[in-house]
A and B are shown apart, each in its own frame.
Chain A
Amino acid sequence: MTDATDPGRRHSAGHHGGDRPVDPVTGHETTGHDWGGITELNTAFPRIVIWALVLAFSYSVIAWILLPAWPLGHDYTRGLLGLDQSEEAVREYREMERARADWLAPFASAEFAALASDAPLMARAMPAAARLFADNCAACHQAKGTGGPGFPNLVDADWLWGGDPEEIAETLRVGVNSTHPDTRVSQMLAFGRDGILPAGDIELLVDHVLALSRGEDAADGPGAELFAENCAACHGEGGVGGLGIGAPALNDGDWLYGGSPGQIRTTLRQGRQGVMPSWEGRLSPSEINLLALYVERLGKGNRNEARE
C-alpha cells in the first residue's frame, strides 16, 4: 500500500472541534469530519450548478406549459399547444398516404395489363414494391425470391397457384391454408402415416418420382400405375403440374421439400400442407396488386427462357 492510501497517515489531522485543517492544494477548509482517513472540503456550492439547475428547471416548466404534463385526477394539463400523440400519428400517416397517392392509387384497379404497360408509373412504383417484398415476403421466400425448403421459389417458371398477376394477387389476398375464409387450400395426403398405401408401394413411388424428375420415360415402370391412381389427380399426368391447385410439377429438378429419396419418402409418408398467411388487412388492395406485379416480374428472365 502506498502511503497515499494510508488513511492513518492523516488520521490525526482531521478531528472535530478547533481549527479545521486547510487543504493546501485548494486552500479550502475541510468539514472537520474524518471517516477513517477520508475528509471532505467545505467548498462553497458552485454558482454554475445553481444556474444549470435553474436552466434545466426553466426548460421543464416551458415544456409543462406547452405539452400535456401533470395529472389532475381524472384529467391532465393539456398544454398550450394542444398536442395529442394519437392525432399527431394519424395526421402524419395521412400525409404519407397522400404523398404516395399519385402512384399507388392506380394500383387499386386490377387492370394489370394496363398498369404493366405504363412505364413511368412502374418506374416510380417498383422500388417501393421491392421494399414491400423485402419487409413482408423475404422472411420465407428469401431476399431474392429464391425460396427454400417448404417455401416456393418465385423466380423460376413453376407456379403452385398460377403465375398471372390476377392469380398472384388472389394468393396474396387469401393466403394458403390460412385463417382467411376464402383461403386457398392444399393438402397432400399422408400416404404412409394414414395407411393409404403400403410401404412397398411408397418405395415404388419414390423411384417413379425420381425418374420423372430426371426426365426419364417411366410410363412402363412399376410405379406408373400407382402414380396415375394416387398422384396424377393433383400433380397432373406424368407429374407435369401447373393445375393451379397447389400441387407442384414433379417432372423438373426443382423441389419444394427436397428431392433426395429420403425426403421424397418423408413427403409421401407424412404428407405436406404449406402455409402462407393472408395479407388482406395487413396490406392495402393497392399494395397487394403492386406486389403481385412485382412478383410476376421477379423471374421474368428465367420464365421467358423456360417458355422458349
Chain B
Amino acid sequence: MTGTLSISERQVGLALAVALTLLGLVMAAAARQGPMAVHGAIAAALGLALVFRLGGALYDPEVPAGRRQRFYDAPTRFGIALTVIWAIIGMGVGVWVAALLYWPEATPPWPWTSFGRLRPVHTTGVIFGFGGNALIATSFHVLQRTARARLADSISPWAVLIGFNLFCIWAVTGYLMGSTQSKEYAEAEWYADLWLVVVWVTYFVLYMRTLARRAEPHIYVANWYYLAFILVVAMLHIVNNLALPVSLAGARSFPIWAGVQDAMVQWWYGHNAVAFFLTAGFLGMLYYFLPVRSGRPIWSYRLSIVSFWGIVFFYIWVGSHHLHYTALPYWVQTLGMTFSVMLLIPSWASAGNAIATLNGAWHKVRDDATLRFMFVAAVFYGLSTFEGSFLAIRPVNSLSHYTDWTVGHVHSGTLGWVAMIIFGAIYTLAPQLSGRETMAWPRAVEWHFWLAVTGALIYVVALWNAGITQGLMWRSYDDNGALSYSFLQSVMAMAPYYLMRTIGGALFLSGAILCALNTRATMRRATGAVRAWDRPLVPGPAE
C-alpha cells in the first residue's frame, strides 16, 4: 500500500489514520461498555495500525515518476485478498449454522455461538464481506480499463476498502455480542450505518470523478450497472436505516418506521439489496469479464441497454412480494407481484445476451474452467430470476412463503450466480494483476469449478424438496378438516434435506478455500510485468 503512495499522500493518509484512531477512542470512551465500546476499540486499533504503517513509511523514497502512466491496481489486489478471506469466513459460518440446523444439540453453551447470532454473521459475511469487496475491487479495475483512465486519486480507493471492511467487522462482531437492529441484511447498528454512508459517498465521488476523466466518450454498460449499484444502495441504506439512537453513547436504536410501514420499507430495502447489490453490480462484473475472457463482443448492445433500464425500473417496485398475505394492503401486493413478473423479461434478456455472447467461443467454455464459471453464472442467473418471478405470484407464494424454498431460491442466486461470477472474475484478474499467464495452480481451478457446481446443485435441490415438503405439510388437511401434520412433524421431516444442504455447502466452501489458496499462491508469484497495452490513455492527475 504505502509503496504506491506519494509522500504527500502518505501524509494525508496519516492524518486520516489519526482521525480514525481518535474517532475510535471517543466512541470507546463515550460508551465505556457494550458493543459500541468494543467497536470504538476496534476502530482505534485499526487506526493505530495504519498510523504505524503510514508513519513508518513517511520518509521512504518518493514513488517512481511513471506511476501516472499506469493503472492503479494495488487497491484491487487488496480488495481481492479481502474477498477471498471474507468468502472463507462467511461461507464457513454458513456451513456451521447449516450443520446446527441438523445437529441443534451441538450448539455450544456460550451465547455468541447461538444460531440467532451466527446466522447474520453468515449473511453479512457473504453478502457484504465477500460480495461487497468483490464488487469494489472489480469496479476499480473495470472502471479504469473501460474508461481507459487511472483512478482519480490514490487515497480514496484505500479509504473505501478499509472503511467498508471496518463496517463489515463492526457488523459481524456486533451480532456476536447480541447487537442488532433486527432488520434482515441491515442488522448493523446506527453508528455503523452512518459510517457506511460516509464510505459510500467517498466511493461514489471517486467513481464519478474517474468516469468524468474517461478517454472513451461512450460509457460502457458495465459502468452503468456499477453506478446503479453504488447509487441505489446508498438510497436504500439511508432510508431503511433511519433510526433514533437511545443514546449517542450506546449501540441501541429504534427505527423511525413502525408497523407495516416498517415492514414495507424493510423489504423494499431487502429485495433491492438483492437487486442492486447482488444483481446490478454483478451484471456489471459479467458484462466486463465475460467478453474479456471469451474474446467475444457483447452480442447485442441494444439488448444490454434496454435490459439495464428494465431491471432498474422494475426491480424498485417488487419488494412487497415479500409481504404477500400479510397486513400490507392487497393493492401493494398486486403491484409487487405484477412488476415481479414483468421483471423476468429484462432479466432473461440479460442472461440471454450473456449466453449469446459466447457464440463462437464454446470451445473455450469447454476448455477453460474460468470461462465456464461465468457461463454457469449466467445460466443460474436465468434460473433464479425465473424462480423469483414465479415465487412472487401470490398463490405460488402461499405455498413457498416461510419455507426453505425461499432459502433455496436465494442460494441458487448467491451460490450459482453471484459467487460463480466472482470466482470467474478472480481467476481472470489474479493472473493479470500478478503479471502472469495463468493462476499458480491451473488444475485447482478445474477442481474448484466442479466442487462449486456440485455443491450448489446439491444445496438448491435439497432445499427445493425441503421447502415444497414444508409448504405441502403445512396446508394439508384431513377430510375432517383438521390439520394433517403438526408443525413439529414438518420440522422432523427436514432432517435429510438439512443434512444434504450442509454437505452441499461444505463442498462449495472447500472450493472457495481452494480458490483462496490459489489466489494467494498466484499473487505471491507475481512477476510485476505489465502488458504494454494495459495502460491508461488518460494518465493520473498531475502531481
A interface residue numbers (CB < 8 A to B): 1-8, 10-11, 23, 25-26, 30-31, 33-46, 49, 52-53, 56-57, 59-60, 63-64, 67-71, 76-77, 79, 83-85, 89, 96-100, 102-103, 124-125, 127-128, 130-131, 133-135, 138, 143
Contact = CB atoms under 8 A, between A and B. Distances in A.
B531 A46 contact: no
Given A40-B301, A99-B480, A60 B220 contact: no
A35 B220 contact: yes
Given A5-B292, A46-B303, A60-B339, A68 B480 contact: no
A93 to B, nearest CB: 11
Contacts of B428: 5
A31 B487 contact: no
A131 B485 contact: yes
Nearest to B335: A69
A54 B318 CA distance: 19
Given A36-B145, A84-B330, A25 B481 contact: no
A68 B345 contact: no
Contacts of A6: 531, 533
B437 A56 contact: no
B482 interface: yes
B481 A68 contact: no
Nearest 8 CB-CB pairings of A with B:
A8-B533, A99-B481, A134-B486, A4-B295, A25-B360, A128-B482, A60-B338, A43-B300
A295 to B, nearest CB: 15
Interface string B391-423: 000000000000000000000000000000000
Nearest to B482: A128
A40 B529 CA distance: 29
A84 to B, nearest CB: 7
B437 A1 contact: yes
Given A69-B331, A71-B331, A131-B482, A40 B533 contact: no
Nearest to B338: A60
Given A59-B338, A63-B337, A43 B302 contact: yes
Nearest to A25: B360
A49 B303 contact: yes
Contact of B297 (A11, A38, A84): A38
Contact of A38 (B298, B329, B368, B483): B298
B297 A53 contact: no
Given A35-B146, A41-B301, A99-B480, 17 more contacts: A35-B218, A36-B146, A38-B291, A40-B297, A43-B299, A45-B300, A49-B345, A59-B341, A60-B342, A64-B338, A71-B331, A89-B325, A125-B480, A128-B478, A128-B482, A135-B487, A143-B488
Contact of B342 (A26, A53, A67): A53
Contacts of B334: 63-64, 67-69, 79
Contacts of B437: 1-2
A77 B297 contact: no
B482 A127 contact: yes
A134 B330 contact: no
A57 B306 CA distance: 15
B445 to A, nearest CB: 13
A128 B480 contact: yes
Given A1-B531, A26-B360, A56 B486 contact: no
A100 B477 CA distance: 11
Contact of A46 (B300, B330, B477, B480): B300
A286 to B, nearest CB: 12
A6 B432 CA distance: 10
B216 interface: yes
B213 interface: no
B179 interface: no
23 contacts: A4-B294, A5-B295, A7-B292, A7-B533, A8-B534, A10-B295, A25-B360, A26-B299, A38-B298, A39-B298, A40-B221, A41-B297, A46-B300, A59-B338, A67-B334, A71-B331, A85-B325, A96-B481, A98-B481, A99-B481, A131-B483, A134-B488, A138-B486
Contacts of A25: 296, 359-360
Interface string B268-301: 0000000000000000000010011111111111
A127 B480 CA distance: 10
B456 interface: no
Contacts of A8: 531-534
Interface string B350-372: 00100000011100100010000
A45 B297 contact: no
A127 B483 CA distance: 9
A43 B359 contact: no
B477 A96 contact: yes
A43 B300 CA distance: 5
Contacts of B330: 67-68, 83-85
A125 B480 CA distance: 8
Nearest to B349: A49
Nearest to A31: B301
A26 B303 contact: no
Contacts of A53: 310, 342, 345
Nearest to B216: A35
B304 interface: yes
Contact of B480 (A10, A26, A124): A124
A130 B486 CA distance: 8
A1 B333 CA distance: 50
B148 interface: yes
A224 B342 CA distance: 81
A43 B337 CA distance: 32
Nearest to A96: B481
Contacts of A71: 331
B250 interface: no
B182 to A, nearest CB: 23
Contact of A4 (B293, B303, B477, B533): B293
Contacts of B38: none
Contacts of B432: 1, 5
B431 interface: yes
Contacts of A130: 486
B113 interface: no
B533 A138 contact: no
Contacts of B298: 38-41
Given A56-B344, A134-B487, A43 B303 contact: yes
B302 to A, nearest CB: 5
A33 B305 CA distance: 14
A280 B74 CA distance: 67
B33 interface: no
Contacts of B344: 56
A37 B292 contact: yes
Contacts of B310: 53
B261 interface: no
B489 interface: yes
A26 B437 CA distance: 29
Nearest to B147: A35
Contacts of B291: 38-39
Which of B148, B218, B301, B304 has the largest number of chain A CB atoms within 10 A?
Answer: B301
B302 A45 contact: yes
Contacts of A135: 483, 486-488
Contacts of B485: 131
Contacts of A84: 330
A97 B296 CA distance: 63
